[in-house]
Amino acid sequence: MKTLMTSLAVLLSFTTFASDSTGCPTMHTTSKEVTTAFGNNLAIQALNAAGPDCSYAKDSRITITYSWFQNSSDTPHVDFWTRVNNKGVTSDLTVFAYVSCNEFNSGPYFQKNYTRFKCMAKAMIGTGYQDKMNVEVAPLFDGQWDTRGYSQNYYFQF
């Protein structure tokens, strides 16, 4: 009976280990950011599988976050012109961003009788596993490109 219980325990632990996402470690995250021409923050977070054979390799993605302060609660329209490894992620290379603005009345920006809003635009793009990733982004903020000039987009390497 003791041998049967030991064998069963070994079998259960082997089964648990064998079903662990093809033996791959967890996905790894890398983040990079820059200050844009308008003085806003542009950050890219890459979430990538450890290898192409990992069961979750198809879930690899980048998240683009663009943030700024403004004086009104109006929500501007933001898109991201984006290429990953020199390929467009949509037919027109433009990715729509979800935008939210929240009251921010603290820190160095706080003044009595003056309300500031911290806004953030975010977009997530599925990339699948990429050994190396070159991401090119140009934020389009209410119809104006937030870059240093034509064809001077922001580049991130992962």
Average pLDDT over residues 82-110: 82
Q: 127: closest CA among 80, 82, 84?
A: 84
* 123: Cβ contacts below 8 Å, ≥ 6 apart: 63, 64, 80, 82, 95, 96, 97, 98
Q: Where are the beta strands (DSSP E) in 3-60?
A: 28-35, 41-48
CATH architecture of 24-157: Sandwich (2.60)
Cα gap 5→113, rounded to integer Å: 72
Cα gap 123→29, rounded to integer Å: 16
Q: 135: closest CA among 28, 39, 48?
A: 48
CA quadruple 22, 30, 65, 95: dihedral positive or negative? negative
- Chain centroid to CA 5: how far? 47
Give the pLDDT of residue 110.
56
* Highest mean predicted confidence (pLDDT) among 1-5, 40-44, 93-97, 108-112: 40-44
Give the pLDDT of residue 5.
43
Lowest mean pLDDT among 24-33, 59-68, 107-116: 107-116
Backbone φ, ψ for residue 153 (5° rounding): -80, 180
C-alpha pair distances (Å), 36 with each of 4, 68, 74, 76, 144: 66, 10, 21, 17, 12
**Residue 40 confidence (pLDDT) above 60:** yes
Average pLDDT over residues 80-102: 89
- Domain ranges for the chain, please list them: 24-157
Give the pLDDT of residue 113.
61
